């Protein structure tokens, strides 16, 4: 291994022990006015600060957790650096027929025009708690089986008329709350009537909240909101679901597809493979682990995503002993909250926000050679002004990097460990045509690293110094 790639203890950032003291959620500024940036690549708050979407799928949050449990869950996620909690008001798991912990159903007689105020009092509580912690709720008005019962519990209850009425009700109720609307709910529109229902609900939301909140669409696995709604005025950004069907799903391909669409809109993977989910829903195929979650996150982010959503199979359904497990859930949600992947998503946010990440654009030309290009490729992005670059290496393979973007100037290089949130400072190097980099330890699946390259003259903060100040906004 070359000298510059060895561990340098003098510059090692031991972030693991201090991360949780430093990563603090920030309260939404003019939350109702979260908006798309001028270049249509990311989101920003009302005062112009970039907003890093780090989502968690808690689909059954409103339906299955009482207030004490919801407090525990939301506090855990805020401490880990999550910024968006994705949850469905009309939940998937018989959300119309099984009451919440306080015995309340969301609708009278399954009628979207007759919401039960007592049920929504509980939703209010959770929304307010999230706001107190600086979290946004990615609120699904309904799970998709309520308009397209291709599978699941259903029943189908929506028409274009009552979808608009229900959307208007939600928009008015949460007009001044930190909400991002997510239509769909793991369903694709398969008929013109489905399209009419979705559009009517979107327009109802906008009528109710006076356009204060962004709207996107959550489709089913291996699908993409852009397939139907990219040019629809109400769709502010695209969301796709890379899903749970296979390991090493190259989700960056869908990110790139959306990134290059016209007109430009931000995009993200709103449901990648869940940590502790059986691959293709069958434990015989093995399970997705923290590495799979990390790989999906970095692959998509470096292909131009505005942020990323993480998920844990036990948490979305809030599984615990006594509840029927969906697709072999096996860990109580209270324990699953502290699975390694959840911590590591916070480390990812810390890395990206340590640099002006909104300047990033996918730039695969940085990778001059990669022995695993066909099955576990390194993915690269650089700042538009060539001030820094990030390269994710999933199997710890040695790669050759094209450094010509740095114009032969001095470059600071770092290894960032996404498992521990630690960084290793390499010796400064003079940028030539190409340079070989060999990540620490032996190459293998799961020994993933991020190579951080900083133009010396850009005066970017050293990784450890930045993280030690807690500047994660």
**457 touches 409 (CB < 8 A):** yes
Q: Given this model, what pLDDT does residue 20 score?
A: 38
pLDDT tens per residue, range 218-260: 999 999 999 999 999 999 999 999 999 999 999 999 999 999 9
Residue 33's pLDDT is what?
82
What is the predicted pLDDT for the residue at 11? 36
In this predicted model, what pLDDT tens digit does every residue of 325-378 receive, in sequence order? 999 999 999 999 999 999 999 999 999 999 999 999 999 999 999 999 999 999
Rounded Cα gap, residues 83 and 72, in angstroms: 16
Q: Can you read off the two tokens belonging to residue 94? A: 């018989």
pLDDT score at 28:
45
pLDDT-based confidence at 432, cuts 50/70/90? confident
Parse the chain into domains and list their residue ranges.
3-14+359-468, 34-353
Name the pTM for this structure.
Answer: 0.93
pLDDT digits (tens, 9 = 90+) for 149-161: 999 999 999 999 9
Task: Note the pLDDT of residue 285.
Answer: 98
Instruction: Supply the mean pLDDT for the chain.
Output: 92
Higher-pLDDT residue of 427 and 13 is 427
- More confident site: 194 or 24: 194
- What pLDDT is recorded for position 2? 39
Q: 173-207 burial by CB neighbour count: b if 16+ within 10 A, else e?
A: bbbebbbbbbbbbbbbbeeeebebbbbbbbbbbbe
Record: fold of 3-14+359-468: Immunoglobulin-like (2.60.40)
Query: Percentage of the chain with pLDDT > 90?
Result: 88
Residue 472 — very low, low, confident or very high, per pLDDT cuts 50/70/90? very low
- Rounded to whole angstroms, how far apart are CA atoms 434 and 120? 59
Q: What is the pLDDT of residues 284-313, one digit of tens each?
A: 999 999 999 999 999 999 999 999 999 999
Cα 325 from Cα 327, distance rounded (Å): 6
Q: Is 34-353 CATH 2.60.40.10?
A: no
CA–CA separation, 177 and 85 (whole Å)? 13
Place of tokens 């993915």: 379
In this prediction, residue 433 has a pLDDT band, given cuts at 50, 70 and 90, of: confident
CA 404 – CA 159 distance, rounded (Å): 57
Residues facing residue 268 across a β-bridge: 239
The pLDDT of residue 255: 98
In the β-sheet with 267-269, what is the strand arrangement from edge to edge?
223-224, 238-241, 267-269
Q: What is the pLDDT of residue 140?
A: 99
- DSSP string covering 97-137: TS--TTS--SBGGG-TTSB-HHHHHHHHHHHHHHHHTTPEE
């Amino acid at each position: 291994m070359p000298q510059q790639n060895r561990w340098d203890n003098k510059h090692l950032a031991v972030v693991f022990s201090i991360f949780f003291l430093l990563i603090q959620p920030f309260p939404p500024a003019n939350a109702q006015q979260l908006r798309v940036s001028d270049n249509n690549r990311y989101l920003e708050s009302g005062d112009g600060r970039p907003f890093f979407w780090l989502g968690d799928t808690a689909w059954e949050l409103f339906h299955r957790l009482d207030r004490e449990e919801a407090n525990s869950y939301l506090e855990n996620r805020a401490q880990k650096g999550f910024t968006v909690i994705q949850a469905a008001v009309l939940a998937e798991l018989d959300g119309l027929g099984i009451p919440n912990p306080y015995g309340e159903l969301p609708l009278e007689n399954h009628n979207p025009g007759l919401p039960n105020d007592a049920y929504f009092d509980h939703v209010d509580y959770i929304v307010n708690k999230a706001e107190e912690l600086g979290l946004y709720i990615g609120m699904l008005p309904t799970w998709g089986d309520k308009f397209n019962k291709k599978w699941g519990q259903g029943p189908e209850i929506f028409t274009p008329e009552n979808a608009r009425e229900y959307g208007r009700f939600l928009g008015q109720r949460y007009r001044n709350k930190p909400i991002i609307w997510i239509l769909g709910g793991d369903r694709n529109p398969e008929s013109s009537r489905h399209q009419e229902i979705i559009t009517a609900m979107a327009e109802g939301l906008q009528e109710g909240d006076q356009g204060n909140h962004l709207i996107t669409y959550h489709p089913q696995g291996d699908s993409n909101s852009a397939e139907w709604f990219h040019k629809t005025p109400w769709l502010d950004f695209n969301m796709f679901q890379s899903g749970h069907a296979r390991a090493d799903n190259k989700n960056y391909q869908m990110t790139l597809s959306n990134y290059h669409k016209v007109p430009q809109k931000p995009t993200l993977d709103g449901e990648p493979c869940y940590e502790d989910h059986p691959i293709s829903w069958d434990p015989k195929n093995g399970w997705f682990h923290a590495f799979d979650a990390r790989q999906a996150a970095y692959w998509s982010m470096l292909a131009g995503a505005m942020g990323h959503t993480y998920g844990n199979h036990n948490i979305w359904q809030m599984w615990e002993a006594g509840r029927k497990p969906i697709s072999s859930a096996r860990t109580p949600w209270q324990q699953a909250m502290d699975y390694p992947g959840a911590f590591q998503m916070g480390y990812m946010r810390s890395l990206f926000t340590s640099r002006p990440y909104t300047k990033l654009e996918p730039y695969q030309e940085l990778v001059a050679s990669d022995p695993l290009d066909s099955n576990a490729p390194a993915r690269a992005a650089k700042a538009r002004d060539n001030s820094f670059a990030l390269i994710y290496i999933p199997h710890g393979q040695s790669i050759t990097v094209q450094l010509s973007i740095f114009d032969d100037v001095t470059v600071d290089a770092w290894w960032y460990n996404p498992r521990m949130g630690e960084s290793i400072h390499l010796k400064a190097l003079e940028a030539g045509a190409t340079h070989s980099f060999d990540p620490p330890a032996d190459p293998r699946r799961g020994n993933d690293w991020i190579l951080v390259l900083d133009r010396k003259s850009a005066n970017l903060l050293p990784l450890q110094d930045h993280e030690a100040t807690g500047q994660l906004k």
